[in-house]
Amino acid sequence: MHDQDFEDDENFVSKSQRKRESTALQDLGKELFELSRDQLKKMDLPEKLLDALLEAKRLTSREGIRRQMQYIGKVMRDVETEPIDQQLAVIRGESNIAKAAFHALEDWRTRLIENDQALNEWLELHPDTDVQQIRQLIRNARKEAAEAKPPKSSRALFRLLRDLTGVV
């Protein structure tokens, strides 16, 4: 009869369920802790959580880090985790948006190396591009491809395109 009272309560959460939720928050906190300081600062995190994560990064003692991670878990109980999960998916490259942006940049790089007209199209879309720098990278990438050398300039061109578009 006493157990029936718990089952009727809509807000009742079992101890096992609370523990699973707590473990999930701790895992999320650990994943955030493993990111670099710059990645953390770029994310849209609540200030209290960001401060706790940056403090954990500063610590060197294992016990201190362990206690700070428990505190991060406590702070995360009051935080909406769905936006954080989405941001982490983008960082991991798991989101469809991130994959599509990455492939679009690869396509641009290929087009720029293969076709001179593509540079004009790129400059129309991104007028803030350093024309001299991008032309030099395209020229070097073509030369490396012709000589079957490692694609150093091609990679540098991709990084430049990524930086200009702001893709992660």
Per the structure block, which two tokens stand in for 31? 């994943």
Neighbours of 3 (CB within 10 A): 7
pLDDT of the residue at 135: 93
pLDDT at 56 over 80: yes
pLDDT band at 1 (very low <50, low <70, confident <90, very high): very low
**pLDDT tens digits, residue range 16-48?**
888 888 888 888 888 888 888 888 888 888 899
DSSP string computed for 30-67: HHHHTS-HHHHHHS---HHHHHHHHHHHH---HHHHHH
R_g of the chain, CA atoms, integer Å: 24
Can you tell me the mean pLDDT for 3-26?
Answer: 74
pLDDT at 168 over 70: no
* Residue spans of alpha helices (H) in the chain: 2-8, 15-33, 37-42, 47-58, 62-76, 82-92, 96-114, 117-125, 131-146, 152-165
**pLDDT tens digits, residue range 74-94?**
888 888 888 888 888 777 765
Neighbours of 37 (CB within 10 A): 11
**pLDDT tens digits, residue range 100-155?**
888 888 999 999 999 889 999 999 988 888 999 999 999 999 999 899 888 899 99
pLDDT band at 63 (very low <50, low <70, confident <90, very high): very high
Cα dist from 38 to 6, 79, 140, whole Å: 46, 21, 31
Look over the chain and give the mean of its residue pLDDT values, rounded to a whole number. Answer: 85
